[in-house]
A = this chain, B = another copy of it.
Amino acid sequence: MTETEPIVFIVDDDDSVRKSLTRLITSVGLKVKTFSSANDFLKCDPYDGPACLVLDIRMPGLSGLDLQAELTKAQRTVSIVFISGHGNIPMSVQALKAGAVDFLEKPFDEQALLDAVHLAILKNKSLRQAQTELNQIQKRIESLTPREREVFSLVVTGMLNKQIAFEMGISEKTIKVHRARVMQKMQAESLAALARMAEKADVYP
């Protein structure tokens, strides 16, 4: 597994802002890709790696907040640092409540922006990691047959095969069969590992 390089996306309709941001961010060795509108960014291929988005609030067409909403809807995980020339409090509140990493006013302190970008990349990395892990677990759960899923959810509560058999009204022998398949399909080498997966996938109420 190669460590993918982080990319900083910049979406701002102002050409000079894009240029100065690019200069600033590339100066610390980060890769940059710029877009002059939210729609351009939405049209581009979702980047499969740690990504940060430096996003202007006020733009013709889709606004920064609109873009944020679209990305959330499309389940594209980018960590956003907002920059605004004429923002207001409700905007900043909405942005942060929707998960933005920071919200800076123009003219911003260069170091503050770089800090925010680095933090966003870090957060994005761990977010992506947690997400892919969860996806894998859920995909495995989907590969279970209905009966296996039933056994799975009872097993991870700590019930004995005997008890599960009674609960489901079938033989303990059959539970063993299902259970073995669950362990195999979930790729769990131990009950402890299975329980951890269940915990992450929120199988418990």
Contacts and interface: CB of A to CB of B under 8 A. Distances in A.
Interface residues of A, number: 29
A192 interface: yes
Copies of this chain present in the complex amount to 2
A197 to B, nearest CB: 10
Interface in A111-159: 155-159
A160 to B, nearest CB: 8
Q: By DSSP majority rule, is chain A's interface helix, strand, loop, or mixed? A: helix
A44 interface: no
A196 B157 CA distance: 10
23 contacts: A84-B89, A88-B89, A89-B105, A90-B105, A92-B93, A92-B96, A93-B102, A96-B97, A157-B192, A157-B193, A158-B190, A158-B191, A158-B192, A191-B192, A191-B195, A192-B192, A192-B194, A195-B195, A195-B199, A196-B196, A196-B198, A196-B204, A199-B199
B89 A192 contact: no
Interface string A176-193: 000000000000011111
Contacts of A49: none
Interface of A: 84, 87-90, 92-93, 96-97, 102-103, 105, 155-159, 189-196, 198-200, 204
A8 to B, nearest CB: 20
A90 B109 CA distance: 13
B93 A192 contact: no
A159 B93 CA distance: 47
A199 B194 CA distance: 12
A156 B93 contact: no
Contacts of A157: 190, 192-193
Nearest to A97: B96
Contacts of A96: 92-93, 96-97
Contacts of A190: 157-159
A187 to B, nearest CB: 12
